[in-house]
């Protein structure tokens, strides 16, 4: 009799497990399918990023090569391809290069728009601030002081990467509107700043001499020299896992 009960009990448990399996198997199968789709999606998106970053890298390199051959039109087109990259850094770098080309062509309004777009393309200060500074330099001798100050003042913070250059540009803007005493004070500070580039300190000393002599004839030359920004650092800018800036060591010409 005991054997009969055990057999019945075993049969009941078997039926119970079968029912559970039938009830939850579709859910388990669905979860596995979802996990597989998610994994394939991540793989596909990563592959997409790498492919597009490679295209951007090639287009950017082509643009630099065209520039080295003084072929500005083809360079502008090549940089336009790089500017459509998913990589924020490549977009910013390429837009800055396009802005530099337009600036050299005396198409200042277009250059400013491109520099402003480059600043919005990548939030990393090393690129965004370089683009903002270029935009300010492009209108340094034409825009109102209020406009120049609005563009440059945030960049003069000591924690920003191009603070000395922004201070210099703002001092030059003050000179242009006749605020020579304020400008001279700024140049004194620049000439003593340990973290200011050597050329910035030298220009500051030249500006102080120019102000003290009572002549501003050298102002255009000072503005032109100030506009010659150094290239943005090539490291830590670009597309994840790509051979382009963010993980590459190529020299990216961020400055024209």
Give residue limits of the domains in the chain.
1-127, 139-231
* Both tokens assigned to 45: 């998106």
For each of the chain's 256 residues, which pLDDT tens digit applies?
Answer: 545 445 545 555 555 555 655 565 565 545 444 554 555 444 344 444 555 567 878 889 999 999 999 999 999 999 999 999 888 989 999 999 999 999 999 999 999 999 999 999 998 899 999 999 999 999 988 899 999 999 999 999 999 999 999 999 999 999 888 899 999 999 999 999 988 989 889 989 988 988 888 877 666 677 666 666 554 443 334 443 344 444 333 333 443 4
Please give the Cα distance from 33 to 27 (Å, whole number): 10
Residue 139 main-chain phi, psi, to 5 deg: -115, 15
Cβ atoms of 216 and 25 within 8 Å: the answer is: no
* Both tokens assigned to 99: 């802005």
User: The domain 1-127 belongs to what CATH superfamily?
Assistant: Tetratricopeptide repeat domain (1.25.40.10)
* Both tokens assigned to 142: 């034409």
Cβ atoms of 230 and 252 within 8 Å: the answer is: no
Residue 146 CA, chain-centre distance (Å), reads 26
Cβ atoms of 214 and 238 within 8 Å: the answer is: no
Task: Name the packing angle between helices 72-82 and 2-68 (round to 10°).
Answer: 170
Please give the Cα distance from 122 to 113 (Å, whole number): 15
Question: 39-53 pLDDT, tens per residue?
Answer: 544 434 444 455 556
């Amino acid at each position: 009799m005991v054997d009969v009960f055990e057999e019945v009990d075993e049969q009941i448990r078997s039926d119970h497990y079968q029912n559970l399996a039938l009830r939850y198997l579709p859910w388990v199968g669905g979860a596995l399918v979802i996990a597989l789709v998610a994994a394939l999606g991540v793989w596909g998106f990563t592959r997409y990023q790498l492919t597009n970053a490679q295209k951007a890298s090639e287009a950017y390199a082509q643009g630099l090569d065209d520039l080295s051959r003084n072929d500005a039109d083809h360079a502008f087109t090549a940089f336009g391809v790089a500017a459509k990259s998913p990589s924020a850094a490549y977009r910013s770098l390429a837009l800055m290069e396009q802005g530099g080309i337009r600036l050299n062509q005396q198409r200042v309004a277009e250059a400013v728009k491109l520099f402003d777009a480059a600043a919005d393309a990548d939030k990393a200060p090393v690129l965004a601030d370089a683009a903002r500074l270029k935009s300010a330099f492009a209108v340094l001798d034409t825009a109102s002081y209020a406009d120049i100050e609005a563009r440059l003042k945030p960049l003069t913070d000591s924690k920003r990467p191009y603070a000395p250059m922004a201070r210099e540009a703002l001092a030059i803007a003050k000179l242009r509107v006749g605020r020579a005493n304020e400008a001279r004070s700024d140049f004194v500070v620049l000439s003593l700043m340990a973290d200011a580039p050597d050329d910035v300190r030298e220009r500051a000393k030249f500006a102080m001499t120019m102000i003290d002599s009572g002549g501003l004839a050298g102002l255009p030359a000072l503005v032109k020299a100030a506009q010659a920004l150094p290239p943005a650092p090539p490291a830590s800018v670009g597309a994840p896992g790509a051979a382009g800036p963010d993980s590459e060591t190529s020299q990216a010409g961020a400055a024209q």
